Amino acid sequence: MKTKLLTLTISCVLAANLYANTGEGINDILDSTLILKQKVKDERDEVKKALTLVFEASTSAKNTIEALIASDADIETLAYKNAIKNASTANKAATATFEAKDPADIAYYANYAIQFSKLAADYATQVVEKDKNLKNESAKNTLKEQAQSTTQKSEQANTQKEILEEKIKNRKEIAEEIKEKIKIAKTNASKEQLEIFKNLETFIEQSSTASALTEKDNKGNDGVKSLENTLNDIQIKQDSISTDKYLSGLAKTPNKDSKIVDVFKLDSKERQEVVNNIKKSTEDIANTISKQINFNENISFSNSLLTQNRVVLLSYLNNDDLKLARAIKSIEGNYYADSTTANLIKDYQEKTSNLWANAIKSYSNFSDSYQKQNIITLGIDTKIDDFIYGFYTSYTRANFNTKETYLNSKNYSFGTYLNYTNSQNELNLDMSLTKSKNELSTMLNLSGTNVNKNGNFDSSSISANIDYGYALKAYDSLYIKPFLGFSYINTQNKAFVENGLLAFKYGSQTYSTLRAKLGTEIRYYNSRGFLYLKPSISKEIYNKFKDIKLNYAGINDNILIKSDAKKRVNFELLSGADIDLNESFSLNINFGTKINKNLKNYIGGAGLRYKF
């Protein structure tokens, strides 16, 4: 028995070759069954809570009646009789709740147990308030407190019952979705696949009652554990079918010496080793290809870092004052105020165009790998009235490494940026286009022999960033600007074919994401330069991935590698400083970071600016 249920990720690519022939696909359905299994587990937890609270409410109702009988209340009053009658009914409903084998029945009977317990408490309260024969203050207080306790426990049980009903509803919705997927997938299924679908239908039926089976059987399994065992058995059967087909395709694949890899001459242990190694290689390759997307993300991030430096420089609010201060600073030591000095100040104040160059290094740390980038960027910009216009181009060398794969990428980017400042309002726009040439190398261990593969593919990416902020003067030359922004990036990897034994033919891949961003920019200026910090939180509000389709090892069916389309929250920080070296040149340094649950990216560098 496997130690864990199906994890529908790239590592289950061997099973995914069935997808194209089974409508929505067995793997997609198995992915949904994992969600269903989790829903059942959540439901089981709520069932246990509901049973506990129903027991407490019905027991409290019983204790209320015992307190009522022990008092000197008039047994002939209607309230007295109704209290006893409702408590008895509550006890019967609670018993039915505990014996129910379906979570829907548990919720159904629990509702009666709760309502009748509450009614018993209400009638007992009426006895306390209206029965003139009830004169023993101690007994009266005991009955009153017990009735209040029953009411409170009934309300708690009712709240839990409503939570359980919502969980049941959610579980049923998932089950119906899976049934519909199975119905579609059956239309083109093979005999073996139909058997798996039959088992999946049994699994769905079993899921409808599993959460109610809270007691363990003689094997130590409760309903949820039995459900997991059923899903394990289904996955083992699915793996068996896909592995047989995979090995059949592998047996037809020639190596570089045109010999046949006759895997059927291997014993079962050796076969499994072959399969495991190829699975691992497949996982690494798919993971590596996806990192090309991170290359383009990082290039866009570094572009934002550099253009932000330019915008901060040219859009400061006390523009004229600072330019005059810098001009005066530049002629310190000149003791003769003449026309040359005046012209120098005038010339300095009119220098609003710039040529700039920067070198950036980027490092990204993933849980199992790392990525490096070296970026050279050249740009030009100018300020005309309230607008800043700029253009830039960059060249990036990037690489990504795992134990068995290596991706080398050459990237060429072209971009433009625009800033509009009106009083304290600022609007920034940055757009870029990136073209990439990528080389992928893989080493696969096959029966003790290292097999090398390689492939080349092109990529392209477009990105856009826009934000609006309102700058507030905090102190002297210190400004704080809250801002709201959005960023979009679209990356496309073209189809390509690997070279070497067991080569893949990869289909194209497309990735798009839209982020919303909220943050605060802090700027400080003086006569020699400036520095700024721009922290923000961004949330991915839209993600769209085109999954990778490929043919592998003689298999005619498409294998589908599902992409990770999770919407993540990122912390981002842009920062930089600029200091004048003389009236024409200045030095700038820049640092940025982007961090989320799965990635830590750091970029930093320095550059020169020429004013004219």
pLDDT tens by residue, 583-598: 889 999 999 999 988 7
Check whether 600 has a pLDDT greater than 80: yes
6 versus 229: which is more confidently predicted? 229
Neighbours of 571 (CB within 10 A): 13
Which residue do the tokens 């076969």 mark?
Answer: 271
Q: If you average pLDDT over residues 90-97, what whole number do you get?
A: 93
Query: What confidence tier does 220 reach under pLDDT thresholds 50, 70, 90?
Result: low
Q: Dihedral through CA 220, CA 225, CA 231, CA 234, nearest 10?
A: 10
Tell me the per-residue pLDDT of 310-365, one tens digit each, with 9 for 90 and over: 787 776 544 555 554 454 454 454 444 444 444 444 444 456 789 999 999 998 87
Query: What confidence tier does 205 reach under pLDDT thresholds 50, 70, 90?
Result: confident
Let me know whether 389 and 508 are in one domain.
Answer: yes
Let me know whether 152 and 289 are in one domain.
Answer: no
Give the H or E element holding residue 394: strand 387-401
Q: What is the pLDDT of residue 214?
A: 63
Q: What is the pLDDT of residue 272?
A: 66
* Cα–Cα dist 538/406, whole Å: 30
Check whether 77 has a pLDDT greater than 70: yes
Give the ranges where 186-263 is alpha helix by DSSP (H).
191-210, 223-251
Check whether 535 has a pLDDT greater than 90: yes
Q: What is the pLDDT of residue 446?
A: 67
Check whether 369 has a pLDDT greater than 60: yes
Residues 6+ apart with CB under 8 A from 138: none
Query: Of 106, 137, 171, which closes a domain?
Result: 171
Q: If you average pLDDT over residues 547-570, what whole number do you get?
A: 66
Q: Which of 111-115, 256-260, 443-447, 543-547 has the lowest mean pLDDT?
A: 256-260
Query: Of 171, 187, 206, which closes a domain?
Result: 171
Neighbours of 188 (CB within 10 A): 11
Check whether 9 has a pLDDT greater than 80: no
Q: Are 68 and 74 within 8 A, CB to CB? A: no
Is 25 a member of any domain? no
Is 14 a member of any domain? no
Check whether 506 has a pLDDT greater than 50: yes
Q: Which of 220-224, 271-275, 380-384 has the lowest mean pLDDT?
A: 220-224
573 versus 253: which is more confidently predicted? 573
* Cα–Cα dist 166/158, whole Å: 13
551, two tokens: 């043919």
Q: If you average pLDDT over residues 380-399, what whole number do you get?
A: 91
Calculate what percentage of the chain has a pLDDT beyond 90. 34
Q: What is the pLDDT of residue 196?
A: 77
Check whether 406 has a pLDDT greater than 60: yes
* Cα–Cα dist 73/76, whole Å: 9
Let me know whether 353 and 472 are in one domain.
Answer: yes
2 versus 456: which is more confidently predicted? 456
Q: What is the pLDDT of residue 586?
A: 92
Let me know whether 147 and 296 are in one domain.
Answer: no
Q: Which of 124-133, 289-298, 406-415, 548-557 has the lowest mean pLDDT?
A: 548-557
Check whether 24 has a pLDDT greater than 70: no
Residue 30 class from Cβ within 10 Å (0-12 exposed, 13-18 middle, 19+ buried)?
buried
- Average per-residue pLDDT for the chain: 79
Is 446 a member of any domain? yes
474 versus 555: which is more confidently predicted? 474
Q: If you average pLDDT over residues 98-109, what whole number do you get?
A: 90
282 versus 392: which is more confidently predicted? 392
Calculate what percentage of the chain has a pLDDT beyond 70. 73
Q: What is the pLDDT of residue 239?
A: 56
- The total number of structural domains in the chain stands at 2
User: Which amino acid, one-letter code, is at 567?
Assistant: K
Q: Which of 286-300, 486-500, 503-517 has the lowest mean pLDDT?
A: 286-300
Which phi and psi (to 5°) does residue 436 adopt?
Answer: -130, 145
Which residue do the tokens 């004229």 mark?
Answer: 320
Let me know whether 166 and 280 are in one domain.
Answer: no
173 versus 476: which is more confidently predicted? 173
Query: Of 128, 153, 171, which closes a domain?
Result: 171
Neighbours of 47 (CB within 10 A): 26
Is 263 a member of any domain? no
Tell me the per-residue pLDDT of 244-284, one tens digit each, with 9 for 90 and over: 555 555 555 554 444 445 555 666 666 667 766 776 676 67
Helical axes 26-70 vs 191-210, angle rounded to 10°:
20
Q: CATH number of the domain at 162, please.
A: 1.20.120.230
Is 151 a member of any domain? yes
Is 267 a member of any domain? no
Check whether 538 has a pLDDT greater than 80: yes
311, two tokens: 């915008």
Q: Are 548 and 289 within 8 A, CB to CB? A: yes
Let me know whether 166 and 306 are in one domain.
Answer: no
Residues in the chain, overall count: 612
Q: Which of 277-286, 480-489, 547-556 has the lowest mean pLDDT?
A: 547-556
Let me know whether 280 and 167 are in one domain.
Answer: no
Terminal Cα distance for the chain, rounded? 74
User: Which amino acid, one-letter code, is at 154?
Assistant: S
Is 390 a member of any domain? yes
- The CA-atom distances, in angstroms, between 318 and each of 323, 327, 328, 424, 479 are 9, 14, 16, 11, 10
Is 254 a member of any domain? no
Query: What confidence tier does 468 reach under pLDDT thresholds 50, 70, 90?
Result: very high
459 versus 558: which is more confidently predicted? 459
- What's the domain range around 513? 276-611
Q: CATH number of the domain at 328, please.
A: 2.40.128.130
